[in-house]
Structure 1
Amino acid sequence: MKKTTAIFALFLAAFTWGSAFCVLKDTLENVSPIWLLAFRFLLAGIIMTLVCIPRMKKMSIRTLKRGIIMGIVLYFEFLFFTVGLQYTTSSKSSFIIGSYVAILPLIYWVIRGKKPQRADILAALVCIVGLGFILLGSFDGVNKGDLISLLSAVCYAIHIVVTGIFAREEDGFLLNMLQIGTGGILGLVAAMILEPHPAAMSGMNIGSIAYLAVFCTVVPYLLSVFGQKYVKTSTSGVILSFESVFGCILSILILGECPGVRFVIGAMLMMCSFLIVEKISLPLPKRVAVKAEK
Structure 2
Amino acid sequence: MKRTVPAIAALVAATAVWGSTFIVTKDSLDELDPASFLTWRFGIGAVVLLLVRPRAVTLLNRADQRRSAALGVALAAGFLLQTTGLQHTLAGVSGFLTGAAVILTPVVAAVFFKEQVGAAGWAAVALSAVGIGVLAGGLTAGSPVGAALTLAGAACFAVHITGLSQWATRENALGMTTVSVVVAAVICGVVAAAGVDGITVPTSATAWRAAAYLGIVATCIGFAVQAWAQAALTATTAAVVMTMEPFFAAVLAVALGESGLGWLGWAGGLLIVGGMTLAELGPRECCDAMAPRVECC
TM-score (norm 2): 0.73
Partner secondary structure for residue 162 of structure 2: helix
- Distance in 2, matches of 1:147 and 1:72, equals 20
Amino acid at match of 2:221: V
2:252 is aligned with 1:250? yes
Question: Which residue in 1 is equivalent to 2:89?
Answer: 89
Amino acid at match of 1:188: G
Matching of residues 212-227 of structure 1 within 5 Å: 212-222=214-224
Q: Deviation of residue 24 (structure 1)?
A: 1.9
Maintained 8 Å contact 2:89/2:142: no
- Distance in 2, matches of 1:202 and 1:224, equals 31
Maintained 8 Å contact 1:12/1:223: no
Maintained 8 Å contact 2:99/2:272: no
CA RMSD of aligned residues (A): 4.2
Partner secondary structure for residue 194 of structure 1: coil
Question: Which residue in 1 is equivalent to 2:117?
Answer: 116
- Distance in 2, matches of 1:219 and 1:132, equals 35
1:207 to 195, 206, 209: 209
Amino acid at match of 2:40: F
Aligned pair count? 278
Matching of residues 29-178 of structure 1 within 5 Å: 29-56=30-57, 58-86=59-87, 88-90=88-90, 96-130=97-131, 137-138=138-139, 145=146, 147-168=148-169, 170-178=171-179
Q: Percent identity?
A: 24
Maintained 8 Å contact 1:52/1:177: no
Q: Deviation of residue 11 (structure 1)?
A: 6.2
Larger deviation, residues 204-213 vs 216-225? 216-225
Amino acid at match of 1:176: T
Q: Deviation of residue 165 (structure 1)?
A: 1.5
- Distance in 1, matches of 2:177 and 2:227, equals 8
Distance verdict in 2 for CA 1:171–1:73, change over 3 Å: same
Partner secondary structure for residue 53 of structure 2: helix
Deviations 1:15-55 (A, max 9, x none): 32211123123222112221101000001100000011254
Maintained 8 Å contact 2:90/2:258: no
Distance verdict in 2 for CA 1:58–1:10, change over 3 Å: farther
Amino acid at match of 2:43: L
Maintained 8 Å contact 1:239/1:274: no
Which one has a larger percent helix, Structure 1 or Structure 2? 1
Greater Rg, structure 1 or structure 2? 1
TM-score (norm 1): 0.74
Distance verdict in 2 for CA 1:135–1:52, change over 3 Å: farther
Maintained 8 Å contact 1:95/1:136: no
